[in-house]
Amino acid sequence: MIIYLDMDDVVADFKGHARAVLRNPEVDGERFAEHEWQKLRDNPRLYLDLPLKEGAQELVNWCLSYANQSTDCEVRFLTAVPRKNDMFWSFNDKFLWAQKYFPMVPIFFGPYSHDKHLHCKLGDVLIDDRTSNCEEWIRSGGKAHIYRTWEACQPWLEKELGIM
């Protein structure tokens, strides 16, 4: 089994950083409106500058601890490039960001968000903030949790992985 952790808004505070930059941004569903995205793109190194999301260290440490106690489990980041692949540095900077905060966790790319389910094998786990990613993951035979906070995710992980 592999536990896949999304990066943006699971361990990296993308929306918090974007809200600070944009000040009251317009959102279209789960995405920023196009004109807001254009403002974010003004920083070509956006993904390198993201702060840790609250609870990220606890989430990663918990998953790594679980994997270390299991004979058939590993932890990976599963992230995506922007839907238009319009940030030249996104691959490189997401890798550098992950190495800065969590050097023990390998990083995989969808490459796009809607491709994440292609990584799923029966029983694999996805922790992701995007509802559609979780729904596609479950349809592919995995288990998924829509991430909002570590406090809500931990009981779900414990239940799904049989720790309770």
Starting at the edge strand found earlier in the chain, the sheet holding 143-146 runs 107-109, 74-79, 2-5, 125-128, 143-146
Superfamily of structural domain 2-13+51-160: HAD superfamily/HAD-like (3.40.50.1000)
Whole-number pLDDT of residue 28: 60
The pLDDT mean for the chain works out to: 92
Q: How far apart are the first and last CA of the chain?
A: 19
Q: Quote the pTM value.
A: 0.92
Digit-coded pLDDT (tens) for 9-45: 999 999 889 888 888 666 666 677 778 888 888 888 9
